[in-house]
């Protein structure tokens, strides 16, 4: 039957192209994945790295593959068994991860992806460092601050290498209070539309706020000789020191206008709330791009490149983008949409939790609201009748100038429950930013295949006694 045939390694290694067919092995199975390559959510190029050999080391690195759904998909392509059986198990690339608080809600262990519990999000305007959400794509690199060098290169700049000490002493120090949010924050609300999306199952906790201290990216680029309005430079690319087994690093870029904007507040940060950056958040140096999707704030920063091109990384070109609900994995043209930079206005109810029992005639609702591009929050409206009537919440936020509202607002409203209400009551929140952008009512019309930029009204059902 299917899968009974035996192949040796040499035979498998001959199948590395469309013409010969693309084969891989996993444990002792041999698979012909030619038909699947183009649909690989991690990109065809990534899968091709494994063509003709074992995918085991790749799956050890990208452990989102380790679930029954993915394994079941692979089994559909089985053509036989590896002669001599499976190769020796692969060493775990995640063996040296930093310690983390058990309070974080883990969505994936390897790489670490964890969100801040909602009760703690609304606990303080500045999230405690140990509770700041973690979004890693690869194992945390261990960087020695003594030998660390930040390299600056590319168009219109002199190549420069800076030690941590030079970075800290040659440039003026700045502090910025900024919220980081993952583009996938609130992704679960798309799953509620009955049209599931691929990705980490983020609830509303992949967002946090810190006081970041460091030096301005602008100042470092100026020191490297970059001039404002240099026509040869359109993007500033960042490379992380975290790499996979093919030595591919995490990377992203932002537009040069944001990087060079004296009011853009883009930092090369080495401190979070006055303490050295924790290992999970980019020790010793990370980029912080206020107002922009978290994915562009590259951690463990190794290199800055001035270029006429965006970062060539998978995450810049083929991942953090949003499309029409009519686009799905079979017809997506990644080049047809720009990389997400500024994110849309959003809000989230953190208290009460879904299903909470309310034994009163009113309810106190708490949450956060944030908008991208420095558009501070001016108002949050809360409803206790599914959106028929609204109450304005009280805002708690750090003072920030118009256009530089990088930090979220926390908010609170005590709202009367509908007269005689019993059983399920829907609480709703929607925020408005200083450009009077507000949130769309429903998630379905903004559904997109990667499940990013979810910002529909946030709804929580409570149980009135």
How far is the C-alpha of 229 from the C-alpha of 421, rounded, in Å? Answer: 61
Binding segment for ligand MTE (CB under 6 A), chosen from 46-54, 72-80, 127-135, 211-219, is 127-135
How far is the C-alpha of 252 from the C-alpha of 228, rounded, in Å? Answer: 21
For residue 250, state whether it binds ligand MTE (rule: CB under 6 A): yes
For residue 284, state whether it binds ligand MTE (rule: CB under 6 A): no
How far is the C-alpha of 271 from the C-alpha of 257, rounded, in Å? Answer: 24
Binding segment for ligand MTE (CB under 6 A), chosen from 28-36, 71-79, 291-299, 345-353, is 291-299
The kind and range of the H/E element at 315 are helix 314-317
Tell me the backbone φ, ψ of residue 165, rounded to 5 degrees. Answer: -65, -40
By beta-carbon proximity to ligand MTE, the closer residue of 233 and 277 is 277
CA atoms within 13 A on the CB side of 180: 28
The stretches of 202-289 forming alpha helices (DSSP H) are 217-223, 256-260
For residue 137, state whether it binds ligand MTE (rule: CB under 6 A): yes
For residue 240, state whether it binds ligand MTE (rule: CB under 6 A): yes
**Chosen residue from 221, 295, 417, 446 binding ligand MTE by CB under 6 A:** 295
User: Which is catalytic among the residues 81, 107, 135, 218?
Assistant: 135
Binding to ligand MTE (CB under 6 A) within 66-105 occurs at: none
Q: Hey, CA dihedral for 118, 120, 126, 127, is it positive or negative?
A: negative
**Chosen residue from 133, 270, 323, 368 binding ligand MTE by CB under 6 A:** 133
Binding segment for ligand MTE (CB under 6 A), chosen from 28-36, 71-79, 126-134, 326-334, is 126-134
Active site residue 320: yes
Q: What is the DSSP letter of 370?
A: E
Binding to ligand MTE (CB under 6 A) within 444-463 occurs at: none
The residues pairing with 346 across neighbouring beta strands, listed in sequence order, are: 370
Binding segment for ligand MTE (CB under 6 A), chosen from 15-23, 130-138, 145-153, 444-452, is 130-138
3-class DSSP assignment, residue 429: strand
Active site residue 40: yes
Is the preceding omega at residue 227 within 30 degrees of 0, hence cis?
no
For residue 46, state whether it binds ligand MTE (rule: CB under 6 A): no
How far is the C-alpha of 370 from the C-alpha of 344, rounded, in Å? Answer: 8
Indicate which residues carry an active-site annotation: 40, 65, 135, 182, 320
Residues contributing to the site for ligand MTE (CB under 6 A): 132-138, 180, 182, 240, 242, 250, 280-281, 294-295, 297-300
């Amino acid at each position: 039957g299917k899968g009974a045939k035996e192949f040796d390694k040499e035979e498998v290694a001959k199948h590395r192209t469309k013409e010969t067919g693309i084969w891989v092995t996993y444990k002792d199975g041999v698979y012909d994945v030619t038909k699947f390559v183009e649909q690989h959510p991690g990109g065809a190029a990534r899968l091709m790295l494994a063509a003709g050999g074992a995918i085991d080391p790749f799956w050890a690195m990208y452990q989102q593959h380790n679930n029954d759904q993915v394994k079941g998909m692979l089994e559909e392509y089985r053509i036989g068994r590896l002669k001599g059986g499976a190769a020796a198990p692969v060493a775990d690339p995640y063996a040296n991860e930093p310690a983390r608080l058990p309070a974080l809600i883990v969505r994936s262990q390897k790489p670490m992806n964890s969100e801040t519990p909602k009760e703690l999000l609304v606990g303080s305007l500045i999230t405690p460092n140990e509770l700041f959400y973690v979004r890693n794509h690869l194992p945390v690199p261990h960087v020695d601050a003594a030998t660390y060098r930040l390299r600056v290169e590319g168009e219109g700049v002199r190549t420069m290498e800076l030690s941590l000490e030079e970075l800290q002493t040659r440039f003026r120090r700045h502090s910025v209070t900024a919220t980081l949010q993952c583009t996938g924050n609130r992704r679960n609300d798309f799953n509620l539309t009955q049209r599931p999306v691929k990705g980490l199952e983020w609830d509303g906790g992949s967002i946090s706020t810190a006081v970041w201290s460091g030096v301005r990216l602008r100042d470092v680029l100026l020191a490297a000789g970059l001039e404002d309005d240099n026509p040869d430079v359109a993007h500033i690319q960042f490379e992380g020191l975290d790499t996979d087994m093919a030595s591919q690093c995490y990377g992203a870029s932002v537009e040069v206008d944001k990087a060079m904007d004296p009011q853009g507040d883009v930092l090369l940060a080495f401190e979070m709330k006055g303490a050295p950056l924790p290992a999970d958040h980019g020790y010793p140096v990370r980029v912080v791009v206020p107002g922009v999707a978290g994915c562009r704030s590259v951690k463990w920063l190794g290199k800055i490149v001035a270029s006429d091109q965006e970062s060539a990384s998978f995450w810049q070109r083929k991942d953090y983008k949003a499309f029409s609900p009519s686009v799905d994995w079979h017809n997506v043209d990644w080049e047809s949409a720009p990389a997400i930079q500024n994110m849309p206005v959003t809000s989230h109810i953190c208290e009460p939790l879904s299903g909470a029992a309310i034994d009163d005639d009113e309810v106190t609702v708490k949450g956060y609201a944030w908008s991208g591009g420095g558009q501070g929050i001016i108002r949050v409206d809360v409803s206790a009748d599914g959106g028929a009537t609204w109450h304005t919440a009280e805002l708690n936020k750090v003072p920030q100038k118009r256009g530089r509202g990088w930090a979220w607002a926390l908010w609170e409203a005590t709202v009367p429950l509908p007269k005689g209400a019993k059983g399920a009551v829907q609480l709703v929140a929607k925020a408005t930013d200083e450009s009077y952008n507000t949130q769309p009512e429903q998630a379905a019309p903004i559904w997109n295949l990667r499940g990013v930029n979810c910002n529909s009204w946030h709804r929580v059902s409570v149980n009135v006694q």
